[in-house]
Every structure is written in C-alpha cells, then in structure tokens.
Amino acid sequence: MIAPFDALEPLEAVEMLLALCLTASALVCLFDRHLLRACCFFVAFAASMTLAWWWLEAPWLAAVELVLGVVLTGACFFYALGHVSPGVSSPLERDRFSEPWPRVAMRVFLALAWFVMVGAAIRYVIADMAYSPSQHPLLLAGVVIAASALGAFALHRHLLRRLLAFNILGSGVFMLLAGVAGTSASAQVLISVGLLVAWLGSMLGALLIRQLLHLEGVEALGPDGKSKESAT
C-alpha cells in the first residue's frame, strides 16, 4: 500500500485535518450562492490540494497545482466574475436561478448513485480499505468531493457554478487517482495533464462566460441560455 497512508498517529492527525479542510472548502465552494465567496473558497481548496500533494511526497505535483490550480485557474474565475479588469461590465454577484424540487431530488439521487459506485470500485481496488476506512482520510475525502461535485454539476444551472463544480470534480478525481495508484511517475504525469486540461477548459469557459455576459446579460448564463429566473 502507499507509504503515507500507513503513517504514525500524529501524522494521521495532520492528514485528517487536510482531508477535513479539503472537504469543507469544496462543499462551501460548491453550494454557496454568493459567487465571489465561492471563488475565494475555490482558491482555498486549490491551496489545500497543494499542501496535500506536498504531504503525499509529490513536490512536482504540488508545484504544478500551485501554478496551474491556484494561480492560473483562480485568475480565470476572477476574470469571469469581472474582478480582474474593472469597468468592463457589472461584476457577477449571486446565482439567482432556482430549480424545481423534483429535479433537485433526481440530481441528489444521481450523486448518491455515483458515490456508491465510485466507493464500491475503490473498495475493490484497495482491499484493506473495506476493513479500516478511517485509515485513508484523503481517499475518503476524494470520494465525497467527487460525488458532491458531480451532484452540484448536474444540479446548478449557473454556468460559472458549473465550471467551479467541474474543477472541484477534477481535483476529487485526481485525489482518487493518487489514492488508488499512488504517486508513481505515471500517476503524476496523468494528474499534471489533467490539471493542464482543467486550466485550459476553465480559461475557455471564463472567456465564454464573459462574452455571453457582454452579448446577452446575466440571463444567458441560466438554463440553456433561456430566461427562467425566479423571483429572487
């Protein structure tokens, strides 16, 4: 099994703390309707991911995460919010789109199904996880984060929040990858490529969001570009 996961008692506390930090910041980022706060928590999340890579003895990955995840992807989100180049058009503040209840229930069910499937798959790959799940706090955090991010991705209509959810989902998947496959050279390269793709995608998405705002206003970011805003 992977070395850091079999570490001593005080080290385990650090790992537990990291896992809690990651999960909490991811959940706030995914479910806060205040967009600026959500983006700030995304940066906090990416910073804790950097620490987690450092902790898992993958310094190169930590560097890549710091540059691509924290700095560049974070900048993409603040650009999409309209906080980088002031005076272009009104910055985005809150997500005011709402969803009907049956749809919410459906998406929660989908996220739970996803959670069970990923959890079961991981359980098969790492056999001893079935007996002591608390030994792998980062792996557990990865499963929770990936599941809630996919749920949020399916649930939200606001394009910026979907983009955020995609990024968190990506980080969750990378954490699962590192937890399942360790931090071997191939795993590190796969994760680095994934981070690069996530950054490029976020950049394209941020440019698109800005362009849509410029052409159509906030309504264009809603359900399939049609106006369906609730009465706040």
Partner 1 sequence: MTWRFGLFDSTFEPLASTHWALLAALGLPLLMGMLAALFPPKRAFPVALASLPILVSGWMLLSAYDQAGLLRWQWEIAGILLSLRLNGLSVLLLLMTQVIGVAAALYTPGYLRLSETGPLARWLWPLMGVVLSALSLIWLATDLLTLYLALELMGLAAVGMLLLSGKVPALVAGMRYLLLALVGSLTYLLGVALILGHWGRLDLQGLADVIEPGPVAWFAAALIGTGLALKAALFPLHAWLTPVHESAWTPVSALHAALVIKASLFILLQLWSILLPDTFYAPRVIAWLGLLAIVWGGLLAWRTGSLKTLVASSTVAQLGYLMVAFPLLLGPDVAPLPRALAWEGFWLQLMGHAFAKAAMFMAAGNLILATGESTLKGLAGTSRRLPLSLLVFGVASITLMGLPPSAGFTAKWMLLQAMIITQQWWAVAALLTGTLLTAAYIFRLFRYSFDETAPRHRYQPLAPGMDLIALTLALIAFALGLLAHFPLELMHGGSP
Q: Considering only residues 150, 164, 195, 218, which one is a binding residue for partner 1 as defined by CB under 8 A?
A: 150
Q: Which is nearer to partner 1, 62 or 139 (CB)?
A: 139
Q: Considering only residues 29, 176, 195, 218, which one is a binding residue for partner 1 as defined by CB under 8 A?
A: 176
Closest to 64 measured CA to CA, from 207, 224, 178: 178
In the window 189-228, what residues touch partner 1 (CB under 8 A)?
A: 189-190, 193-194, 197-198, 200-201, 204-205, 208-209, 211-212, 215-216, 220, 224-225
Closest to 63 measured CA to CA, from 19, 199, 71: 71
Please give the C-alpha separations between residue 209 and each of 30, 40, 81, 84, 222, in angstroms, as whole numbers. Answer: 18, 18, 9, 14, 11
Q: Which is nearer to partner 1, 82 or 205 (CB)?
A: 205
Q: Considering only residues 24, 63, 84, 180, which one is a binding residue for partner 1 as defined by CB under 8 A?
A: 180
Looking from the CA of 104 toward its CB, the CA atoms found within 13 Å total 5
- Torsion sign, CA atoms 220, 81, 40, 64: positive
In the window 3-22, what residues touch partner 1 (CB under 8 A)?
A: none
- Torsion sign, CA atoms 30, 33, 35, 38: negative
Which amino acid does the sequence have at 2?
Answer: I
Which segment (31-39, 44-52, 105-113, 172-180) binds partner 1 by CB under 8 A? 172-180
Q: Does 231 bind partner 1 (CB under 8 A)?
A: no
Which segment (13-21, 29-37, 92-100, 160-168) binds partner 1 by CB under 8 A? 160-168
Q: Which is nearer to partner 1, 91 or 194 (CB)?
A: 194
The answer to whether 51 and 66 are in contact (CB under 8 A) is: no
